[in-house]
A and B are shown apart, each in its own frame.
Chain A
Amino acid sequence: MSKRIDVSDLNVYYGDFLAVEGVTMAVEARSVTAFIGPSGCGKSTFIRTLNRLHEVVPGTRVEGKVLLDGQDLYGPAVDPVVVRRQIGMVFQRPNPFPTMSLRDNVLAGIKLNNSRMRKSEADDVVERSLRGANLWNEAKDRLDTPGSGLSGGQQQRLCIARAIAVEPDVLLMDEPCSALDPISTLAIEDLIAELKENYTIVIVTHNMQQAARVSDRTAFFNIAGTGQPGKLIEMDDTTKIFTNPGEKATEDYVSGRFG
């Protein structure tokens, strides 16, 4: 179910602006990989290239390779829609579909793709996904109410349920807790620890403690100055990055002397 990702020499552009330069990294299957770094260094931009979501912004382009278990996502005959079905994403701001009920939000990936499913089967998916996202107990009595009626933390867990309902190989999370209170944040961190059993998880976070708590490996991105491209400075086991990093810039950042 879960797959590894290998990125080599990736350059990411917005028009002529090179936002991320020369990233090479390996993301292991069934592990949590955290991206840290100061604002604007291209973490969001980079993570969005991993499911080919970057290209929905007009005028953008990507150079280099992203291999999902050996297959190049940017190969000439690859359909980005198929890629996105295998690599799910959770965004910084919870974005449940406002026109859909809780239940339909969870089933969105299936229903919107017009896959037919028997009701009992759909019920199973809803329950399994909501349990997987730790939302079942709060949501089971209100499955037919609109998803936008939940609290922010519940909405974010609903978005996670929606993402795992289609059983992707990889789950990308771009600062999933930055709009949430500490209790919801903790709930989501616990969830990430559970999801790691089955999924490859990549998480962008601004919170260093969070990276230290949830991730197995950490990648530090940095930027030389505004208008400069963001770069991957180093990537290593999380404990190593936080205790004994190889680069001075990483040490400054994780010890709070920078950004």
Chain B
Amino acid sequence: MTVDTAARTESTPLTHRQLPRRIVPVVLAVSIAAGAGLAALVGFSLPALAILSAVVFTVAITTVSGVVEGRRKAVDRLVTTLVYSAFAVALVPLISVVWSVLDNGLVRFGADFLNTSMRNVTGLHDQEAVEGIGPYIGGAYHALLGTFLITALATAISVPVGLMTSIYLVEYGRGKLAKAIRFFVDVMTGIPSIVAGLFAASLFAVLFGVGTRNGFAGAVALSVLMIPVVVRSSEEMLRIVPNELREAAYALGVPKWRTIVKVVLPTAVSGIASGVTLAIARVVGETAPLIVTAGFTSSINSNPFSDWMMSLPAYVYSSAMRPLSGSEPQPSFDRAWAAALTLVIIVMALNLIARLIARIFAPKTGR
């Protein structure tokens, strides 16, 4: 025993003094108390409490750790605290957006809202509803249908074009043409969405007459925004397919195009599909391009090739900016929030679907 201790003190010790694990919650509790005190001095508010507590905690934990555990541990604790704080700050907008959309949107959201359109709903109904003489009516079925049709069409245009472009870039493109395409795809990524909308609007004006607005024009506008996203994400996915698999197929005497269709694409399909889903999520909430191409309507239109077509973003915009009843705008605002909630749900669902797709289609290891 004694020999043992002697041997240990002679060599460099492998252990050093450590703060107990419970120190973090303890210091945190003390910091929040101190933060509350300080916040009371400057006039109490929740943000002030959060910020002051965070500052006190950062200083306290670093100092305590510096005294007990030494410099390296103290720096580690400081940086850990900063990283967590940055994460919390980044989360604030997300949580507050979700919170306010839920809080305001749930007032009108429901099966009735998703199943009815705005046809024949007037400001008078809204006034009666507020006065308690009539029911709250009017929904976003037409907008939901429009968003679905326009996005589906945009996807049907963008996926083949985008996927084939990325196949060209990865499998065939060498030299100047490929460089030029890559450059223009980058430029397209940066196009402001209103410009895409105006492009589609003027294209349809030239082809079918000035003032032509329909769902298809909206789909073309969205494709302009969607194609570069699809090209970029598919390109990345195709690039990470190992070259060895291509060579294995070539060595079996499989022609290049069939290697691409039967080996490269299936290997990359999970990434491509989830990239496409994210691209859809990206354009489904686009407002400006749809306002100038698909227009507004209060009725159900299931034909994207003729007449104006409502979409959820346009619905939110018109309900919020032009309430049906000037004197009682609240029912319109409630509908705008409910439609916004619908959009958020769609986007979140698409993100979840993208993850599911990535998991389901991923090559299985079978272990």
Contacts and interface: CB of A to CB of B under 8 A. Distances in A.
Interface residues of B, number: 25
A81 B247 contact: no
Interface stretch (B82-90, B223-231, B261-269, B343-351): B261-269
Contacts of B258: 112-114
A146 B248 contact: no
Contacts of A99: 263, 266-267, 363
Interface in B107-150: none
Nearest to A52: B250
B40 to A, nearest CB: 62
B188 to A, nearest CB: 26
Given A145-B366, A146-B364, A149-B367, A98 B267 contact: yes
A53 interface: yes
Contacts of A111: 262
B253 A82 contact: yes
Given A99-B266, A146-B365, A149-B366, A56 B246 contact: yes
Interface in B215-268: 242, 244-255, 258-259, 262-263, 266-267
A95 B252 contact: no
Chain A contact patch, size range: 20 to 34
Contact of A112 (B252, B363, B367): B252
B174 interface: yes
Nearest to B255: A81
A180 to B, nearest CB: 16
B251 A98 contact: no
A108 interface: yes
Contact of A91 (B244, B254, B259, B367): B244
A149 B365 contact: yes
B247, B255, B366, B367, most chain A CB atoms within 10 A: B366
Nearest to A88: B251
A163 B252 contact: yes
A93 interface: yes
Contact of A159 (B246, B248, B250): B248
A88 B252 contact: yes
Interface string A27-55: 00000000000000000000000010100
Contacts of A163: 251-252
B363 A95 contact: no
Contacts of A56: 246-247, 250
Nearest to A111: B262
Contact of B253 (A84, A91, A97, A146): A84
B247 A91 contact: yes
A126 to B, nearest CB: 15
Given A56-B246, A93-B244, A148-B363, A112 B263 contact: yes
A4 interface: no
Nearest to B174: A58
A84 B363 contact: no
A236 to B, nearest CB: 29
Contacts of A166: 252-253
Contacts of A19: none
B363 A98 contact: yes
Interface in A79-113: 81-86, 88-89, 91, 93, 95, 97-99, 108-109, 111-113
A108 B267 contact: no
Closest 4 pairs (CB-CB, A-B): A149-B366, A85-B253, A98-B363, A109-B252
Interface of B: 174, 242, 244-255, 258-259, 262-263, 266-267, 363-367
12 contacts: A81-B254, A85-B253, A95-B244, A97-B248, A97-B263, A98-B245, A98-B364, A99-B267, A111-B262, A112-B249, A114-B258, A148-B363
